[in-house]
Amino acid sequence: MRLLAATSNRGKLAELRSLLADLPIEVLSLAEALPGAPAVVEDGETFLENALLKVRAGALRSSMVTLAEDSGLEVDALDGRPGVRSARFAREGATDAENNEALLSALASVPDDQRRARFRCVMVLLDPRSEQPPIVTEGRCEGWIGRQPRGAGGFGYDPLFVVEDYGRTMAELGEAEKNLVSHRGKAARAMRSSLEALIARRP
């Protein structure tokens, strides 16, 4: 089965392909399935709203089974920010390094015991040939924000996010470890039975 992953984020695409590698699914990127398609304006106020915008646009334009997700970092000391603005916390079009620097600056005076945070991922699956509503799953990963970047893996805020019970940043985990504990890994595993059922129904 061919599956459109409605994301232009290379890191997220690579993780989705890794998480679904043992299923008989060919995961196509937006660039592969819909070259030149305009970007979806992610103006929702929640992760779910943004994921629904992306999955519906992808399914409508491609007529393919589409998987979309919206995810981000929530920091308690910042009242849940950066949240849905995680990719543009520093500014529109910010690099990962700029966003990490902005986060460290915002937390500069916050003591270690008040730097609790979590990664959240809301994942949505939509089959345009079905009358069924989109299927939604969610994954969370708890931890806290470190004082400086550590690790060479991952992307986004991974070098700053220390995973609870591991004492290492997400960027210090290997691929298998990250897939096990990450918000995206948990959301994908929760979606697995729905994907398997969809594969069984399609020719």
17-51 burial: b if 16+ Cβ within 10 Å, else e: bbbbeeeebebbbbeebbeeeeebebeeeebbebb
Q: What is the pTM of this model?
A: 0.93
Mean pLDDT along residues 21-32 = 93
Residues belonging to the binding site for substrate are 7-12, 71, 155-158, 178, 183-184
Count CB atoms within 10 A of the CB of residue 106: 17
Give me the active site residues, please.
Answer: 70
What's CA 33's distance to the chain center, in Å? 20
- For 142-168, write each residue's pLDDT tens digit: 999 999 999 999 999 999 999 999 999
Residue numbers belonging to the annotated binding site: 7-12, 70-71, 155-158, 178, 183-184
CA torsion 177→181→183→187, rounded to 10°? 90
pLDDT tens, residue by residue, 29-77: 999 999 988 889 899 999 999 999 999 999 999 999 999 999 999 999 9
Q: What angle do CA 80, 83, 84 make, to 5 degrees?
A: 150
The answer to whether residues 154 and 171 touch, using CB atoms and an 8 Å cutoff, is yes
Q: What are the structure tokens assigned to 20, written together? A: 């679904």
List the end-to-end C-alpha distance of the chain, in Å, as a whole number.
8
Tens-place pLDDT, residues 105-135: 999 999 999 999 999 999 999 999 998 999 9
For the chain, which domains are there? 2-201 (3.90.950.10)
Give 72-96 pLDDT, tens digit per residue: 999 999 999 999 999 999 999 999 9
Q: Which parts are annotated binding residues for Mg(2+)?
A: 70
Average pLDDT, the chain: 95
